Structure 1
Amino acid sequence: MQKELQENSLSSWQNIELTGFTAASISEKLQELPESSKQEIRRKGEAALAYNWPIIPVTAYLEFVRSGDREIMQRYYRQRNKTLKNLVLAELLEGEKKYIDAIVNASWALCEQSSWVLSAHLPSQKAGAGVPDIQEPILDLGAGETSVNLGWVYHLFGTELDKISPLLKKRIFLEIDEKIIQPYVQRNDFWWMAFKENEFVNNWNPWVNYNVVLSTILLGDAVNNDLRKKVVKKSMRSVDNFINYYKQDGAADEGPNYWSHAGGKLLEYLELLKNVSKGHIDLGQEQIIQNIGTYIMDVHIVNKFYVNFADSSVRVKPNPALIYRYGLYINKPELMQFGAFVSQNTNFLDHPIIGSLDYSLNNLYIYKQLKNTAPLKENKLVSRFDETGVVIGRTSSNGKKGFFFAAKGGHNNESHNHNDVGSFVLYHQGEPLIVDVGVETYTAKTFSKDRYEIWTMQSDYHNLPKINNNSQAFGKEFSAKDESVKETSLGLKFRLDISEAYPKEAYSKKWVRNFELKRELPELIIEDSVEYNKIETPAIHNFMLAAPPKLVKKGKILLRQTDDKKVHFYYPPAKFKFDVEEIVLNDEKLLKDWQQEKLYRLVLTSRNIDELKEVSSFRILEE
């Protein structure tokens, strides 16, 4: 973010306030929705009237430290906030004050909640995980989201609340001030603020900053303008660190599943700044901001499939309205059209009320424009994210023809990292062949020192070799080197040395992996040029597959067969022994992501026990 924007832009503002988003304008937008969507809002509103607002038991928080289960507490959290959202939208749609008392009860119940922080995030408090310390309010994603919901109630229904009792608005203000605004202005040590030099930064930064700024502004004059300016200025310094940390190529370390909560949250924050600054702050033409936006379009494969490195899921459902808003902000019609294209793969146009209350309200304001935008997605034959080390290639601009290929270099200490330097994915006619598994349901272990005990995080369950019985190791130093990309008229070449992604016990002096994607056949060649310091156990090449491979004959494996095409995997049988393992999916999230009960691991074990230099080549061919 430009220095002059940080230091001088606010000085000329007379008042920091949100424009638009009145109860009347939102009601008008709701009336424009399809009847089916309005009926759904009414139905959910009616159901929300019956919610009895149970407390969140202390044992629900404690379950995170007792068993690692974070979902028990989060189910309470989600239901409480979802219920308030449904009541608010129903009242805005109907406008007959039928839901006002229920909204009051919901708001009071959330105000009565001792802590808005999620159980999984309590380790940030000095007392550690377990029971929330109400004397140390901390700011996390959960606290911010609840605060925004209450802020919208204050902003939209303030007059009605005052008719019932002025103490209602006062209570909401006091809780947001105590739990959100004061901790924000008084403390600089929340890790996500990124005020410490060389501090790790991730999607929490724009997400929490956005929630804090929006909550503050929604309270209107209850927060004096000087304090509002102080909050906005501080948020600009903090989000500036996020933008500086983000790679210039715009790629999300966490993968496309997190784009909505990283790049998308940055967009929401920047939109908010543009709104409250009356257009003074607009970073839409900055190259990094443009790259962050178009990333989600470039990593789209076909339908709901996206390139899913790191903790991303294989199927992703980004909010099409958020994509459209990003395209509007950076003035990229092709991104706006991609948002319309994504809406065609979902029921968004019939039911745009998705996600949080804040999401839903913003969707309303963009719905008509998105609906009237022609859906279009032009597939690039090559997309490169050189700083991140991700390269993407297609053999056809038609997403349902030929091969789609993506590979990654980088290092093993990215946000939501998997040990996967040198791994790749391959799709055929829009269907997954060689895959990245993704991630299981989050538990306490997921973000602990024991993260790499989880099988989905390990290189053995990515498309990578196991060298001298050693898997890849965690840490920024375990990285690719000598990465190079070459585009040709015939295809794409990607080269990298992955030897340093393994610990020294692997005795890997050189492991140069060459990918070559050829468009004409189409064909993918993977060539590993290897040099060992010594060999203690034979190397094992792992390939994760979506469907069971069939050994046609030694050296030839059938990966997929359609009505008119076969995809074969060729390997040198003199060099490798063939085996295949079933990977049963027991985790609820993986079962939902993959929509099947098993994946498969193709295991090729090297017969080499004494040659310190060797070259192995694998071919995947459509025939």
Structure 2
Amino acid sequence: MLSEHYANEHLGKLLLSQKEYRPFPSIDERQMWEQIPQHVKDYWLQKGLSKLNHAWPTITATQYMDYSRTGNRSRYEQLSWTRRQDLAALIIAECIENEGRFMDDIINGVWCICDELFWGIPGHNYMMRRNDPLPDVADQIIELFSAETAALLVWTYYLLKSRLDAISIMVCERIALEVRKRILEPYLERNDFWWMGFREEEMVNNWNPWCNSNCLLAFLLLEDNAERREAAVVKVMRSLDKFIHQYHSDGGCDEGPQYWTYAGGALFDCLELLYGVSNGKIDIYQTPLIQQIGRYIYKTFIDEAYYANFADGSAIVHIPAELTHRFGRRIGDAKLAGLGTMMLQQQQERATTLQFPSMFRLLPSLFHYSEVENYTGESPHVRDVWLDGIQVMAARERQGTAKGLYVAAKGGHNDESHNHNDVGQFIVYCDGSPMIIDPGVETYTAKTFFSDRYTIWTMQSAYHNLPTVNGVQQMQGRQHRAMDVHYHQEDAFASLSMNIAKAYPDSAEIKHWIRSTTLLRHPQPCIEIKDDFLLQQATDDIVLNLMTPHCPQIDDTGNIVLQDEKEHRVQIQYDADRFTCASEEIALEDENLRNVWGAQIYRIQLKTKTSFDHAAWTLRIRQL
């Protein structure tokens, strides 16, 4: 898509030179810095002041080895990311105040980070040719956070070069030296990084645009050799084409809404860099697929910060407000732009803060704050969604509001990126409040991405809203997938049906299991979950699992009531003649899960009373 149209002999004429390319004002160009709203300037000045005379935390070899010894990723990552967040806060504070009092702390931060032997994280050591608890400094790999770090240092160079040079020319020279050695040279010289997509057997995911966006930025701002710079742009385009090519025409992200920020959102970062450095001549925003990739995020939007989460995604997602708004404006979609404005208005100054301090997102969020805040778009609460490529449907009672019932369901297969064994999964919200949920994922550890992944309970189908048959759960693998998937939507209802039998291994003894998820809007709104199955032989060992954040109120007449703290209530009706009903509390010790659901969630289990080799039943969910 990109390389076919732009990677040719005319490309050099399209690109602004390194000196001409001025995406944002430096500290010396004061007008736009002065126009940032005062409350936003105050917010960032306070963040900078909190780091004044900063004692930069040390990072030791044994802290790095903590991952190989214990499997814990978080302790080292927090140390590394905190350094970068603190540096970003100091840079922005200095650019806003322009008095020089943050400069020594900035120089110390730059020197600290440049002294790190490896800018990445221990969890990505597997990319190195030699597998060791410590990084091989002779093997300069490019992974997510080495590329992020390079971009942060390059922005430091770009924004503050005149002030840094006035103190010591060695600071910017050190930045240039380290970025060339760690990023620019290996990017041009190596094709074996899996995320680039140049090895045919490899599928790519969010790493592709995320790494490419930061590498491209480093080349555009730092590389003064025109031929090398142009070669990097060509390689970025070829690599991005590999990522774009994997998308179905619906633009759906199988990694979920949380990863859209680093998949579709990072692709947008790349397209903006290419658009800007070419004065708008490299432009694929009117391509239908690019537009659909942008729209995906509001198609999974439920309300406030809740999104329809599957796989490793969290139910609560803080999307980059300004990026979302700008993506919407680029493709002419008022719902997408409106979602960005809605998020900014909810988060206010906090909307400019990022977990990873990407200046290419932070700077426009400062300079465009008033524009985004005052935009009047369209409601992103869309009524019906069907993403046929990733087989995800969503439906709510009415367009433009979170009031009433909402349901999302998925088919797909059990080898998706960041996969959970969850073919046939569904979630239910009421007035924008979660009732039947997908728990999400715990904090990443060494187990998360390797052979022990499916020993983690959040990955297993028994902790999703799915049946367990003959004690057997779904299995991982692309062959374990939904079959005969059908979506139907009318004004009165929306429905998704599929055969989930192949999601289970042969030991489950399932011939077919048709699961249908339907939102009925008229005459009385309700959600119906229908299961119609045939087994190889009769069994009484069938359990329907339902996950909820609320303590279920169960009676013996076939009713379960779920109620949140704001008194949103739903009733689940089941056949009490066929099922016994019980629930268990699952204490949440993991910080990621506790931040979303609190101290515990609950698993409701409907267990068959008698043996069946075939049956059909329906769960009905109504708002009370």
Q: Contact (CA 8 Å) 2:405, 2:431: kept in 1 or not? A: yes
Q: Contact (CA 8 Å) 1:155, 1:220: kept in 2 or not? A: no
- Alignment pair present for 1:592 and 2:595: yes
Q: Hey, what does 1:302 align to over in structure 2?
A: 303
Q: Contact (CA 8 Å) 1:339, 1:375: kept in 2 or not? A: no
Q: Give the one of 94, 98, 102 matched to 2:101.
A: 98
- Alignment pair present for 1:77 and 2:74: no
- Alignment pair present for 1:361 and 2:373: no
Q: Hey, what does 1:252 align to over in structure 2?
A: 253
Q: Hey, what does 1:275 align to over in structure 2?
A: 276
Looking at structure 2, the residues matched to 516 and 353 of structure 1 have their Cα atoms a distance apart, in angstroms, of: 39
Alpha-carbon deviation of 1:195? 0.6
- Alignment pair present for 1:177 and 2:183: no
2:499 partner letter = D
Alpha-carbon deviation of 1:362? 2.3
- Alignment pair present for 1:139 and 2:145: no
Alpha-carbon deviation of 1:357? 4.7
Question: What SS does the aligned partner of 1:541 have?
Answer: strand
Q: Give the one of 552, 556, 563 matched to 1:553.
A: 556
Alpha-carbon deviation of 1:9? 4.7
Structure 1 residues 514 and 46: CA distance shift in structure 2, 3 A: closer
Q: Contact (CA 8 Å) 1:327, 1:335: kept in 2 or not? A: yes
Question: What SS does the aligned partner of 1:568 have?
Answer: strand
Q: Hey, what does 1:342 align to over in structure 2?
A: 343
Looking at structure 2, the residues matched to 373 and 25 of structure 1 have their Cα atoms a distance apart, in angstroms, of: 29
Structure 1 residues 29 and 432: CA distance shift in structure 2, 3 A: same
Counterparts in 2 of 1:41-440, with a 5 A limit?
41-221=44-224, 224-348=225-349, 352-355=352-355, 356-358=357-359, 359-374=361-376, 376-397=378-399, 399-440=401-442
Q: Contact (CA 8 Å) 2:320, 2:351: kept in 1 or not? A: no
Question: What SS does the aligned partner of 2:495 have?
Answer: strand
Q: Contact (CA 8 Å) 1:514, 1:526: kept in 2 or not? A: yes
Question: What SS does the aligned partner of 2:621 have?
Answer: strand
Question: What SS does the aligned partner of 1:49 have?
Answer: coil
Q: TM-score, normalised by structure 2?
A: 0.95
- Alignment pair present for 1:475 and 2:488: no
Q: Contact (CA 8 Å) 1:530, 1:613: kept in 2 or not? A: yes
Looking at structure 2, the residues matched to 59 and 364 of structure 1 have their Cα atoms a distance apart, in angstroms, of: 38
Structure 1 residues 129 and 577: CA distance shift in structure 2, 3 A: farther
Structure 1 residues 123 and 583: CA distance shift in structure 2, 3 A: same
Looking at structure 2, the residues matched to 24 and 528 of structure 1 have their Cα atoms a distance apart, in angstroms, of: 63
Looking at structure 2, the residues matched to 569 and 326 of structure 1 have their Cα atoms a distance apart, in angstroms, of: 39
Q: Contact (CA 8 Å) 1:306, 1:315: kept in 2 or not? A: yes
Alpha-carbon deviation of 1:25? 7.5
Alpha-carbon deviation of 1:568? 1.9
Alpha-carbon deviation of 1:252? 1.4
Looking at structure 2, the residues matched to 88 and 248 of structure 1 have their Cα atoms a distance apart, in angstroms, of: 41
Name the stretch that deviates more: 80-89 or 454-463: 80-89
Alpha-carbon deviation of 1:484? 0.4
Q: TM-score, normalised by structure 1?
A: 0.95
Q: Hey, what does 1:622 align to over in structure 2?
A: 623
Question: What SS does the aligned partner of 1:7 have?
Answer: coil
Q: Contact (CA 8 Å) 1:344, 1:375: kept in 2 or not? A: no
Q: Contact (CA 8 Å) 1:63, 1:69: kept in 2 or not? A: yes
Alpha-carbon deviation of 1:331? 2.2
Alpha-carbon deviation of 1:431? 1.2
Alpha-carbon deviation of 1:334? 2.7
1:352 partner letter = T
Structure 1 residues 316 and 113: CA distance shift in structure 2, 3 A: same
2:155 partner letter = W
Question: What SS does the aligned partner of 1:12 have?
Answer: helix
Q: Hey, what does 2:448 align to over in structure 1?
A: 446
Q: Give the one of 491, 499, 512 matched to 1:497.
A: 499
Name the stretch that deviates more: 42-51 or 315-324: 42-51
Q: Deviations over 1:525-575 (max 9, x none)?
A: 111110111245511110111212222332222233899985321111221
Question: What SS does the aligned partner of 1:145 have?
Answer: helix
Q: Deviations over 1:248-293 (max 9, x none)?
A: 2111111111111111100011000011122221110111110111
- Aligned pair count reads 618
Structure 1 residues 15 and 402: CA distance shift in structure 2, 3 A: closer
Looking at structure 2, the residues matched to 445 and 126 of structure 1 have their Cα atoms a distance apart, in angstroms, of: 21
Alpha-carbon deviation of 1:301? 0.6
Alpha-carbon deviation of 1:434? 0.8
Name the stretch that deviates more: 452-461 or 352-361: 352-361
1:530 partner letter = F
Question: What SS does the aligned partner of 2:48 have?
Answer: helix
Looking at structure 1, the residues matched to 50 and 564 of structure 2 have their Cα atoms a distance apart, in angstroms, of: 48
Looking at structure 2, the residues matched to 133 and 147 of structure 1 have their Cα atoms a distance apart, in angstroms, of: 18
Structure 1 residues 40 and 129: CA distance shift in structure 2, 3 A: farther
Q: Hey, what does 1:534 align to over in structure 2?
A: 537
Structure 1 residues 567 and 103: CA distance shift in structure 2, 3 A: closer
Question: What SS does the aligned partner of 1:438 have?
Answer: coil
Counterparts in 2 of 1:572-583, with a 5 A limit?
572-583=575-586
Alpha-carbon deviation of 1:211? 0.6
Looking at structure 1, the residues matched to 491 and 40 of structure 2 have their Cα atoms a distance apart, in angstroms, of: 48
Q: Contact (CA 8 Å) 1:402, 1:429: kept in 2 or not? A: yes
Q: RMSD across aligned C-alpha pairs, in angstroms?
A: 2.0
Q: List alignment gaps of at least 5 residues for structure 1.
A: none
Looking at structure 2, the residues matched to 367 and 562 of structure 1 have their Cα atoms a distance apart, in angstroms, of: 34
Looking at structure 2, the residues matched to 562 and 523 of structure 1 have their Cα atoms a distance apart, in angstroms, of: 22
Alpha-carbon deviation of 1:338? 1.9
Q: Deviations over 1:137-158 (max 9, x none)?
A: 1101110111111101211222
Name the stretch that deviates more: 67-76 or 406-415: 67-76
Q: Contact (CA 8 Å) 2:142, 2:186: kept in 1 or not? A: yes
Q: Hey, what does 1:509 align to over in structure 2?
A: 511
Alpha-carbon deviation of 1:125? 0.6
Looking at structure 2, the residues matched to 448 and 522 of structure 1 have their Cα atoms a distance apart, in angstroms, of: 43
Structure 1 residues 79 and 562: CA distance shift in structure 2, 3 A: closer
2:215 partner letter = V
2:532 partner letter = S
2:460 partner letter = Q
Looking at structure 1, the residues matched to 389 and 607 of structure 2 have their Cα atoms a distance apart, in angstroms, of: 33
Q: Contact (CA 8 Å) 1:550, 1:559: kept in 2 or not? A: yes
Q: Percent identity?
A: 36
1:339 partner letter = G
Alpha-carbon deviation of 1:24? 4.5
Q: Contact (CA 8 Å) 1:304, 1:345: kept in 2 or not? A: no
Looking at structure 2, the residues matched to 196 and 172 of structure 1 have their Cα atoms a distance apart, in angstroms, of: 31
Q: Contact (CA 8 Å) 2:15, 2:278: kept in 1 or not? A: no
2:328 partner letter = G
1:149 partner letter = L
1:598 partner letter = Q
Q: Contact (CA 8 Å) 2:484, 2:498: kept in 1 or not? A: yes
1:480 partner letter = A
- Alignment pair present for 1:487 and 2:489: yes
Alpha-carbon deviation of 1:230? 0.9
Q: Contact (CA 8 Å) 1:571, 1:617: kept in 2 or not? A: yes
Name the stretch that deviates more: 354-363 or 333-342: 354-363
Structure 1 residues 270 and 398: CA distance shift in structure 2, 3 A: closer
Structure 1 residues 394 and 232: CA distance shift in structure 2, 3 A: same
